[in-house]
A and B are shown apart, each in its own frame.
Chain A
């Protein structure tokens, strides 16, 4: 990801430029004639003024806020659930079947449930975001705990570390790398689910904006919103990598160096 932005990645940047150029020329030369496929320059022309409107930033804020709240809720519940299930075999026996049953359910399926429960609201959006983002966090936390060497267990015994403290200061951090993988997967997923929820339910935010522009037959604006989402995806991922570095300087340096 770092390479994506580095000036040395000329080949990567060149690839993107060639793609844009091909797209632009195909449309300009009229070799592909379709009314609703617009050229990159048209998209840019629609996007730049859009960036100056308050409405655009409100929509962006709405989607990001919804994704962030849903993701944070899922992170808190998922990490606690994953660590508890990882450390207590009894709890794991009780919950594992439910976990396997709920995990494959498509998150979108919760949208109508959310609509019935909460109507067109942020709550409905949060429900749609929360469920699908929960599972990667639980699963990765759990496997992070499972992969730990038995040695940690012995250290806890030898140094008489009380259970709750062991969970927070030994087992949790030891699973941190794996937990962060889960958090990254679900962060992207949270944005996706927010957009879907806005498309089919809550008429706010970027998801609704895409539908609105599509139905208003404004393809350039529609693409502009889609590209906005792409940029958000990249930024969210970068942010989480920085978060990981800040949270655990030790491990992250080791895995990337």
Chain B
């Protein structure tokens, strides 16, 4: 199995008022096929910066990043991004359908594009809202539009930056379950950033703990919990609770 992303000794510095501000330090990470990677850490620890490096939106100051063995210099093909702020990320003058088509409309024929949009909307259960405008939808639905837009490009990796952080608990739970289903249906790998430890365990096959600034990955957990996951039962499993306390300690112990 070849790795999708390989990160070696990645470091990132921003220059603020002429002073160097370290953001990430010595990050090593391998992203494999068909897995969900969650990266959990406190706010301001460099989680988003790490995701932006994966997406080719920021270049690391140190180290190497490869996507399918190619160095990453700009956003690579096959990588899709889902941002936290859905309202800024969707185009308000485009209908849901046209928003979802954004990534594919140039490369596909009109018919093929429409087909693909339909399929993506079906995946996120929004087939009935194709002609609506994003701002006519609830927050959870808007976030699903953003996920559909990403899926329409048939990505090999989905990069998600705290996508459910702004949503209420119930919407969040149902979107978490949908995400697990989507992974099974599409076979895309997912890198998921969150500050919610339970969410990280519930979704993740692999959980990495990021402590910072400057952000460093201090521990990894391979989550072995039974599928299908269930919002009540999974969260009550002793193994789940053990992961929760271990990760909690991993974050607190070093901050």
Contact = CB atoms under 8 A, between A and B. Distances in A.
Interface of A: 149, 151, 154-155, 157-162, 165, 170, 173-174, 176, 248-251, 253-254
Q: Is the interface of B mostly helix, strand, loop or mixed?
A: loop
A250 B97 CA distance: 13
B244 to A, nearest CB: 33
A72 B180 CA distance: 53
B55 to A, nearest CB: 7
Q: Identify the interface centre among B91, B95, B103: most chain A CB within 10 Å of its CB.
A: B91
Contacts of B102: 155, 159, 161
Contacts of B85: 151
B133 interface: yes
Contacts of B94: 250
Interface in B53-89: 55-57, 74-75, 77, 79-81, 83, 85, 88-89
A149 B83 CA distance: 13
Interface residues of B, number: 24
Contacts of A174: 91, 93
A19 to B, nearest CB: 41
Contacts of B89: 151, 155
Top 8 A-B pairs, shortest CB-CB distance:
A159-B103, A250-B133, A250-B93, A151-B88, A149-B88, A158-B75, A173-B93, A248-B93
A249 to B, nearest CB: 8
B80 to A, nearest CB: 7
Given A151-B85, A159-B103, A254 B57 contact: no
Contacts of B88: 149, 151
Contacts, number: 50
Contacts of B91: 170, 173-174
A78 B116 CA distance: 38
B103 A154 contact: no
Contacts of A176: 93
A162 B107 CA distance: 12
15 contacts: A149-B88, A151-B83, A151-B85, A151-B89, A154-B81, A154-B83, A155-B102, A157-B75, A158-B103, A170-B91, A176-B93, A250-B95, A250-B133, A250-B135, A254-B92
B106 A165 contact: yes
B209 to A, nearest CB: 27
Contact of B135 (A165, A170, A254): A254
A150 to B, nearest CB: 9
Nearest to B153: A159
A166 to B, nearest CB: 11
Contacts of B93: 173-174, 176, 248, 250-251
B165 to A, nearest CB: 16
A15 to B, nearest CB: 36
Given A155-B89, A250-B92, A254-B133, 9 more contacts: A151-B83, A151-B85, A154-B57, A158-B55, A158-B57, A170-B91, A176-B93, A248-B93, A250-B135
Contacts of A250: 92-95, 133, 135
Q: Identify the interface centre among A160, A162, A176: most chain B CB within 10 Å of its CB.
A: A160
B73 to A, nearest CB: 11
Contacts of A251: 92-93
A160 B75 contact: yes
A160 B95 CA distance: 20
A152 to B, nearest CB: 8
Contacts of B106: 161-162, 165
B98 to A, nearest CB: 10
